[in-house]
């Protein structure tokens, strides 16, 4: 995307899975064009919550998205809440299923690089990555970076798990 046009969307949600669901539902209703991004952002302070942002490829699409969200009662802002959004919707995300090599993951999606926890440098291009069909990279210094961790059999997995166990779920 040459010049992203960004809009922020405030929510009253406090959990990432619910924010992911809302983001995907809104994107589907908006029928966002190819090349669009949708991110979640953790907002701290007196009212902690998860906000959303959408980056679209044109001013016309941005204006239509803003109008639609406003009519639906969402509080919108002219920018993302911060620069470190967690990408849920991005080019190529639908292709990131099953097990892929790092090179295939990078070639198939908008992800710029993979960083492995506790490891210097980047993983080998032929290293397998088990996506668990849940790949949520984050924006870091203008690059979309997937944080991964070592797993069984010399594979990698995304750091974020698809269905995290809620805190204190066992009591």
Average pLDDT for the chain: 92
pLDDT at 16: 93
- Model confidence pLDDT, tens digit, residues 70-93: 999 999 999 999 989 999 999 999
pLDDT at 117: 94
> How far apart are the two ends of the chain, measured CA to CA in Å?
47
- Model confidence pLDDT, tens digit, residues 48-62: 999 999 999 999 999
Q: Residue 165: which pLDDT band, with cuts at 50, 70 and 90? A: low
Structure tokens at 163: 């269905």
- Model confidence pLDDT, tens digit, residues 8-53: 999 989 999 999 999 999 999 999 999 999 999 999 988 899 999 9
């Amino acid at each position: 995307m040459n010049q992203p046009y960004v809009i922020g969307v405030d929510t009253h949600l406090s959990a990432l899975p619910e924010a992911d669901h809302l983001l995907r539902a809104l994107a589907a209703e908006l029928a966002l064009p190819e090349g669009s991004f949708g991110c979640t952002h953790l907002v701290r302070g007196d009212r902690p919550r998860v906000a959303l942002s959408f980056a679209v490829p044109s001013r016309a699409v941005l204006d239509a998205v803003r109008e639609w969200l406003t009519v639906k009662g969402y509080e919108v802002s002219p920018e993302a809440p911060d620069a470190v959004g967690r990408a849920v919707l991005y080019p190529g995300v639908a292709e990131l299923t099953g097990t892929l090599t790092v090179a295939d993951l990078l070639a198939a999606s908008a992800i710029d690089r993979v960083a492995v926890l506790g490891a210097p440098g980047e993983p080998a291009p032929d290293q397998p990555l088990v996506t668990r069909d849940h790949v949520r990279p984050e924006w870091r210094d203008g690059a979309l970076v997937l944080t991964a961790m070592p797993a069984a059999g010399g594979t990698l997995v995304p750091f974020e798990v698809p269905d995290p166990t809620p805190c204190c779920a066992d009591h």
